[in-house]
Structure 1
Amino acid sequence: MQFISTRGGMEPLPYSDTLLEGLAPDGGLAVPEEMPQVDAATLESWRGLSYPELATEVLGLFATDIPRDDLAMMCADAYADFPEAVVPLRSIGEGITLVGLSEGPTLAFKDMAMQFLGQVLEYALEQRDSVLNIVGATSGDTGSAAEHALRGKARVSVFMLSPQGRMSSFQRAQMFSIDDENVHNIAVEGVFDDCQNLVKSLAGDLEFKRAQHLGAVNSINLARITAQVVYYFWAWLRATDADGPVEVSFTVPSGNFGNILSGFFAKQMGLPIRRLVLAANENNVLDEFFRTGIYRPRAAAQTLATSSPSMDISKASNLERFIFDLVGRDPRRVVTAWRELDEQGHFDLSAEQPRFEGEFGIVSGTSTHADRLATIRSVYEASGEIIDPHTADGVKVARSYLEDGVPMLVLETAKPQKFAETIHEAIGIELEFSPELRQMLDAPQRVAEMPDDEPALRSYITKNALH
Structure 2
Amino acid sequence: MKYISTRGQSPALSFSEILLGGLAPDGGLYMPEAYPHFDDADLNAMRGMNYRDLAFTILSRLIDDIPASDLRTIVDKTYRAEVYAYARDEQSAEDITPTLKLEDNLYLLSLSNGPTLAFKDIAMQLLGNLFEYVLAKEGQETNILGATSGDTGSAAEYAMRGKKGVRVFMLSPHKKMSRFQTAQMFSLQDENIFNIAINGVFDDCQDIVKAVSNDLAFKAQSKIGAVNSINWARVVAQVVYYFKGYFAVTKTNAEQVSFSVPSGNFGNVCAGHVARMMGLPIKKLLVATNENDVLDEFFRTGIYRPRGSANTYHTSSPSMDISKASNFERFVFDLVGRNTEKVRQLWSKVDVGGAFDLNEEGYFDKVAGYGFISGSSNHANRMQTIRNTFDHYGVTIDTHTADGLKVALEHREADVPMLVLETALPAKFEEAIVEALGQNPERPASLHGLDALPQRFEVMEADIDSIKQYITQHIR
Note the 1:348-367 alignment, pairs <5 A.
348-350=357-359, 351-357=362-368, 359-367=369-377
Q: Distance in 2 between matches of 1:86 and 1:369?
A: 30
Q: Which TM-score applies when normalising by structure 1?
A: 0.98
Q: Distance in 2 between matches of 1:427 and 1:50?
A: 36
Aligned to 2:454: 444
Aligned to 1:336: 345
Tell me which moved more, 426-435 or 221-230.
426-435
Cα pair 1:10 1:24 within 8 Å, conserved: yes
Q: Distance in 1 between matches of 2:458 and 2:61?
A: 40
Q: Distance in 1 between matches of 2:253 and 2:37?
A: 18
What stretches of structure 2 of length at least 5 have no aligned partner? 85-92
- Label 1:320 to 1:88 Cα distance change in 2 as closer, same or farther (>3 A): same
Tell me if 1:409 matches 2:415. Answer: no
AA in 1 matched with 2:298: F
Tell me if 1:187 matches 2:197. Answer: yes
Q: Distance in 2 between matches of 1:246 and 1:97?
A: 16
Note the 1:92-131 alignment, pairs <5 A.
92-93=102-103, 95-131=105-141
Residue 344 of structure 1: how far off its partner (Å): 6.4
Aligned to 1:196: 206
Q: Distance in 2 between matches of 1:294 and 1:119?
A: 39
AA in 1 matched with 2:187: S
Note the 1:29-428 alignment, pairs <5 A.
29-80=29-80, 81-82=83-84, 83-93=93-103, 95-241=105-251, 243-343=252-352, 345-350=354-359, 351-357=362-368, 359-428=369-438
Q: Distance in 1 between matches of 2:34 and 2:146?
A: 28
Residue 133 of structure 1: how far off its partner (Å): 0.4
Residue 244 of structure 1: how far off its partner (Å): 3.1
Aligned to 1:28: 28
Q: Distance in 2 between matches of 1:68 and 1:22?
A: 24
Q: Distance in 2 between matches of 1:221 and 1:165?
A: 26
AA in 1 matched with 2:52: P
AA in 1 matched with 2:255: V
Residue 94 of structure 1: how far off its partner (Å): 5.9
AA in 1 matched with 2:139: D
Q: Distance in 2 between matches of 1:267 and 1:344?
A: 31
Q: Distance in 2 between matches of 1:317 and 1:431?
A: 32
How many residue pairs match? The answer is: 464
Deviations 1:143-186 (A, max 9, x none): 00000000011210000000001100000000001100000000
Q: Distance in 2 between matches of 1:97 and 1:3?
A: 34
SS in structure 1 at match of 2:220: helix
Q: Distance in 1 between matches of 2:406 and 2:104?
A: 12
- Label 1:58 to 1:418 Cα distance change in 2 as closer, same or farther (>3 A): same
Cα pair 1:74 1:120 within 8 Å, conserved: yes
Deviations 1:358-417 (A, max 9, x none): x10100000000000000011111110000000000000001111111000000000000
AA in 2 matched with 1:151: R
Tell me which moved more, 427-436 or 12-21.
427-436
Aligned to 2:469: 459
Aligned to 2:87: none
AA in 1 matched with 2:416: V
Fraction of identical pairs, as percent: 53
Residue 317 of structure 1: how far off its partner (Å): 0.4
Aligned to 2:14: 14
AA in 2 matched with 1:432: E
- Label 1:441 to 1:233 Cα distance change in 2 as closer, same or farther (>3 A): same
Q: Which TM-score applies when normalising by structure 2?
A: 0.96
AA in 2 matched with 1:137: A
What stretches of structure 1 of length at least 5 have no aligned partner? none
Q: Distance in 2 between matches of 1:278 and 1:246?
A: 21
RMSD: 1.0
Residue 431 of structure 1: how far off its partner (Å): 2.3
Cα pair 2:7 2:340 within 8 Å, conserved: yes
Runs of 4 or more off by more than 4 Å in structure 1?
Answer: none
Cα pair 2:150 2:181 within 8 Å, conserved: yes
Residue 343 of structure 1: how far off its partner (Å): 5.0
